[in-house]
Amino acid sequence: MISGELGSNNPNAAVDRNYYARGMHVPALFEIDGNPIPALVAEFGSPLFVFSEHTLRNKARHAREAFKRRYPKTSFAWSFKTNSLNSICCILRQEGWIAEVVSDFEYEKARALGFAGSEIVFNGPYKPRHILERAIEEGALLHIDNWDELNLIEELTKGRKQPLDVGIRVWLDAGIRPVWSKFGFALANGEAERAAARIVKNPGLRLHTLHTHIGTYILAPEAYRNATQKLLALRDAIHEHHHHLVECLDLGGGFPSNSLLHGMAGPAEQVVPPIEAYADAITEVLNRLPEKKRPLLRLESGRHIVDEAGYLLTSIVAVKGMHRSRVEAESLSARDYKEQLILGEDPKVSYIADAGINLLYTAAWYRFDVRPSRLIAAAPVPSRIYGSLCMAIDVIREQVDLPPLEIGDVLSVHPVGAYNVGQSMQFIAYRPAIVLIDENGMPELIKPAESLDDVQRLERLPARLAVT
Ligand SMILES: *Cc1c(COP(=O)(O)O)cnc(C)c1O
């Protein structure tokens, strides 16, 4: 085992395996798909979101193949809430994805992008009446979340000649904690089967899909095996008791990207199971059924597909020391002395970057990879990266080993393609430009940075308050 690794790992490899080891250097990231990082910032400004079309398509194709090879009846729906940039949605559309939306905004966006109603899966705990009416009219697949929504959908579909295909969202214990019980009908107490029975009896509706989404960044493929078994058991019960065989199982999203949570030792590639492990867990269960009884499998994977395609580039705008005072050892108990040695690992230097948690909402959970964009011939020291907001909680990394940086140094923060753009907020600053690098390595602006006019376009100032 050890000899097998010799020669295949660089001298820094011990650092990768040992949380407490510190290497001789921090790897830099010089370019994205052939574009030098400082040049991207020089052309498009800083901070800057950058998406790699090459990486996005690769991730999508890899996931598609992993499932289709094992289970040909697999299809994918793109989770708009993970990233709803038009370019991202349309790239996935080209890759064969339909749309998965959770709100009126996302539904309207999907339609405006050219997804037909029948190419939209409509999830979420609240679908306002006006958008339900439109979605029913346009033949979207509604995944019903609760009894009140079922009541409303029954009212809106009363007297239909053609039954409307619908699904139900189910929550179940797949073995991971916390169990997401906010969404859908409970499996364990029979609620899901009661909802299914009511739909089966309604001539205006046809129960097409059983859906669950067990969480996000799920590191245990076994959880999906459990979820698949439980949804299949529900499907069997509905078949047996209500004589309707549900056509489709939708296992939602939640597959992890190559990312780490705070406190996890990396590298991510060694912690995060490959997509094939998830494909095995789900399809082994389905493939045990006789071929004619096998359901359609739908997946709504978001994070796994898009996270690694996204980078945030941010520039250092100020350098600060930490100035931690040291207590003399003699005046400390042995325990406190040790504690202080550990605290000695605290950042020695801190930096202010021009991007913060306004653009990286998920920095609260995820330990992003932060890298310089040039070779710096100095040993790394524990450093802290603050964002640019006037808030103490605005920290991108509490502690990260970096060589000494200078003002103007550009850092890449990765992977940030999932959720960050959608959740970024316009708080005291403009949201930055977004660039897509196409498969030939050409960068193209897909969203310019906001201006004052963009931000306050919808504001109305009462005439009596206007400065004259
Ligand atoms: C958020 C969400 C997804 C996508 O989740 P990821 O963790 O990004 O894969 C899929 N389905 C539903 C219903 C969701 O709410």
**pLDDT tens-digit series, residues 312-323:** 999 999 998 764
For residue 304, the ligand 1 atom closest to its alpha carbon is 9
Measured in Å, residue 316 CA sits from the centre of ligand 1 at 34
Our answer on whether the CB atom of 81 is closer than 6 Å to any ligand 1 atom is yes
Measured in Å, residue 78 CA sits from the centre of ligand 1 at 9
pLDDT at 16: 54
Is residue 341 exposed (0-12), middle (13-18) or buried (19+ Cβ within 10 Å)? exposed
Q: How far is residue 239 from each of residues 27, 196, 242, measured CA to CA in Å?
A: 56, 10, 6
- CATH 3.20.20.10-classified regions of the chain: 84-301
384 near 351, Cβ under 8 Å?
Answer: yes
Which numeric CATH code is attached to 2-50+309-449? 2.40.37.10
Beta bridge partners of 381: 402
Q: How far is residue 236 from each of residues 132, 242, 394, 410, measured CA to CA in Å?
A: 29, 10, 50, 56
- Average the pLDDT over 418-445 and give the result: 97
**Which stretches of 1-157 are assigned E, i.e. beta strand?**
31-32, 35-36, 48-52, 74-79, 98-101, 120-122, 141-144
Our answer on whether the CB atom of 310 is closer than 6 Å to any ligand 1 atom is no
Asked if residue 30 has pLDDT above 60, the reply is yes
Asked if residue 12 has pLDDT above 70, the reply is no
Q: Which residues, 6 or more positions from 202, have their beta carbon under 8 angstroms from its beta carbon?
A: 154, 157, 163
Our answer on whether the CB atom of 216 is closer than 6 Å to any ligand 1 atom is yes
Measured in Å, residue 251 CA sits from the centre of ligand 1 at 10
Length of the chain: 468
With both helix axes pointing from N to C terminus, report the angle between 129-137 and 104-112 in degrees, rounded to the nearest 10.
Answer: 30
Our answer on whether the CB atom of 167 is closer than 6 Å to any ligand 1 atom is no
2 pLDDT band, cuts 50/70/90, is very low
The secondary element (H helix, E strand) that includes residue 431 is none
Our answer on whether the CB atom of 124 is closer than 6 Å to any ligand 1 atom is no
Measured in Å, residue 283 CA sits from the centre of ligand 1 at 19
CATH class of 84-301: alpha beta
- Average the pLDDT over 183-211 and give the result: 97
Omega before 221 within 30 of 0, i.e. cis: no
Least-confidence region, from 76-80, 243-247, 345-349? 345-349
355 pLDDT band, cuts 50/70/90, is very high
Asked if residue 243 has pLDDT above 50, the reply is yes
Q: Which residues, 6 or more positions from 442, have their beta carbon under 8 angstroms from its beta carbon?
A: none
Q: What is the pLDDT of residues 117-151, one digit of tens each?
A: 999 999 999 999 999 999 999 999 999 999 999 99
Ordered alpha helix ranges (H), 251-364: 268-271, 275-287, 303-306, 334-343
Which of the listed residues 75, 82, 257, 366 should we mutate to test ligand 1's pocket, taking the one with most ligand atoms within 8 A of CB? 82
Q: Which residues, 6 or more positions from 375, have their beta carbon under 8 angstroms from its beta carbon?
A: 28
Query: CA-CA distance, 21 to 41, in Å (whole number)?
Result: 33
According to DSSP, the β-strands at 185-186 and 31-32 are: unpaired
According to DSSP, the β-strands at 381-386 and 248-250 are: unpaired
Our answer on whether the CB atom of 443 is closer than 6 Å to any ligand 1 atom is no
For residue 419, the ligand 1 atom closest to its alpha carbon is 8
Asked if residue 200 has pLDDT above 80, the reply is yes
Is residue 434 exposed (0-12), middle (13-18) or buried (19+ Cβ within 10 Å)? buried
Residue position matching structure tokens 């679908």:
127
Q: Among 294, 348, 299, which Cα is nearest to 322's?
A: 348
For residue 300, the ligand 1 atom closest to its alpha carbon is 10
Which of the listed residues 176, 212, 300 should we mutate to test ligand 1's pocket, taking the one with most ligand atoms within 8 A of CB? 300
Our answer on whether the CB atom of 298 is closer than 6 Å to any ligand 1 atom is no
Asked if residue 325 has pLDDT above 60, the reply is no
pLDDT at 341: 62
> Comparing 38 with 330, which gets the higher pLDDT?
38
Is residue 186 exposed (0-12), middle (13-18) or buried (19+ Cβ within 10 Å)? middle
User: Taking the mean position of all CA atoms in its chain, how far away is CA 407?
Assistant: 31
Least-confidence region, from 10-19, 56-65, 439-448? 10-19
Residue position matching structure tokens 């899966």:
121
Our answer on whether the CB atom of 358 is closer than 6 Å to any ligand 1 atom is no
**Residue 158 DSSP class:** T
According to DSSP, the β-strands at 31-32 and 296-299 are: unpaired
158 pLDDT band, cuts 50/70/90, is very high
Of all protein residues, whose CA lies closest to atom 5 belonging to ligand 1? 253
pLDDT at 408: 97
Our answer on whether the CB atom of 254 is closer than 6 Å to any ligand 1 atom is yes
Q: What is the pLDDT of residues 386-428, one digit of tens each?
A: 999 988 889 999 989 999 999 999 999 999 999 999 999 999 9
For residue 82, the ligand 1 atom closest to its alpha carbon is 8
Asked if residue 41 has pLDDT above 70, the reply is yes
Least-confidence region, from 158-162, 234-238, 456-460? 158-162
Residue 321 neighbours by CB distance under 10 Å: 9
7 pLDDT band, cuts 50/70/90, is very low
The secondary element (H helix, E strand) that includes residue 114 is none
Query: CA-CA distance, 55 to 437, in Å (whole number)?
Result: 10
Asked if residue 330 has pLDDT above 90, the reply is no
Residue position matching structure tokens 């359609």:
296
Please tell me the pTM assigned to this model.
0.91
Query: CA-CA distance, 30 to 373, in Å (whole number)?
Result: 5
Our answer on whether the CB atom of 347 is closer than 6 Å to any ligand 1 atom is no
Name the residue type at position 73: K
Our answer on whether the CB atom of 208 is closer than 6 Å to any ligand 1 atom is no
The backbone region for 211, taken as left when phi is positive above 0, alpha when psi lies in -120 to 50, beta otherwise, is beta
Asked if residue 365 has pLDDT above 80, the reply is yes
Asked if residue 3 has pLDDT above 50, the reply is no
Q: Which residues, 6 or more positions from 57, have their beta carbon under 8 angstroms from its beta carbon?
A: 91, 95, 439
Q: Which residues, 6 or more positions from 72, have their beta carbon under 8 angstroms from its beta carbon?
A: none
Asked if residue 377 has pLDDT above 90, the reply is no
Our answer on whether the CB atom of 372 is closer than 6 Å to any ligand 1 atom is no
- Average the pLDDT over 436-459 and give the result: 97
pLDDT at 328: 63
Sign of the dihedral defined by the CA atoms of residues 202, 205, 207, 211, in that order: negative
- Average the pLDDT over 261-275 and give the result: 90
- Average the pLDDT over 172-179 and give the result: 92
Omega before 27 within 30 of 0, i.e. cis: no
pLDDT at 431: 97
Asked if residue 78 has pLDDT above 60, the reply is yes
Phi, psi for 116 (deg, rounded to 5): -70, 160
Residue position matching structure tokens 């490959």:
274
Which of the listed residues 182, 213, 224, 362 should we mutate to test ligand 1's pocket, taking the one with most ligand atoms within 8 A of CB? 213
pLDDT at 428: 93
Measured in Å, residue 183 CA sits from the centre of ligand 1 at 12
Query: CA-CA distance, 242 to 192, in Å (whole number)?
Result: 13
- CATH 2.40.37.10-classified regions of the chain: 2-50+309-449
Our answer on whether the CB atom of 300 is closer than 6 Å to any ligand 1 atom is yes
Measured in Å, residue 254 CA sits from the centre of ligand 1 at 6
pLDDT at 208: 98
Asked if residue 278 has pLDDT above 60, the reply is yes
Our answer on whether the CB atom of 301 is closer than 6 Å to any ligand 1 atom is yes
Query: CA-CA distance, 99 to 94, in Å (whole number)?
Result: 12
444 near 373, Cβ under 8 Å?
Answer: no
